[in-house]
């Protein structure tokens, strides 16, 4: 079992680049295809905690679903954004790489090097 997990969307170029960068470092991470198998509330909460981010800091604001769900409203709360991310996994910024009790967002992909050092 790998000590690294990548929350991966193969259709995302940054996610593919991050996976490739890990592999170039000799790391074969466990791949969590969160678009095919949605995150549980517990998993999302754990990622947010490890990243030290609020839902509003991990949501993809450029996704059509962000506007469609009315999340652009000034009074949108963190819980509403969190719930939308659980229901629409494409709203979750990607990729996220986890190693133990540490996690980084692979934007840019080179951020994952922080986990290796």
- Among residues 81, 89, 82, the alpha carbon closest in space to that of 35 is found at 89
12: annotated active-site residue? yes
- Among residues 19, 3, 2, the alpha carbon closest in space to that of 106 is found at 19
Phi, psi of 5 (to 5 degrees): -130, 135
- The one catalytic residue in 5, 12, 56, 65 is 12
Does 76 sit behind a cis peptide bond, omega within 30 degrees of 0 on the bond before it? no
**Could you list the active site residues?**
12
């Amino acid at each position: 079992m790998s000590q690294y997990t990548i929350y991966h969307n193969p259709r995302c170029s940054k996610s593919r680049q991050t996976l490739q960068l890990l592999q170039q470092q000799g790391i074969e991470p466990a791949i969590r295809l969160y678009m095919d198998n949605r995150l549980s509330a517990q998993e999302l909460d754990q990622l947010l905690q490890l990243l030290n981010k609020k839902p509003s800091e991990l949501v993809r604001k450029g996704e059509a679903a962000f506007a469609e769900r009315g999340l652009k409203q000034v009074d949108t709360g963190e819980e509403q954004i969190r719930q939308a991310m659980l229901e629409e996994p494409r709203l979750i910024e990607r990729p996220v790489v986890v190693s133990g009790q540490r996690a980084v967002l692979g934007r840019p992909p080179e951020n994952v090097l922080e986990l290796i050092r």
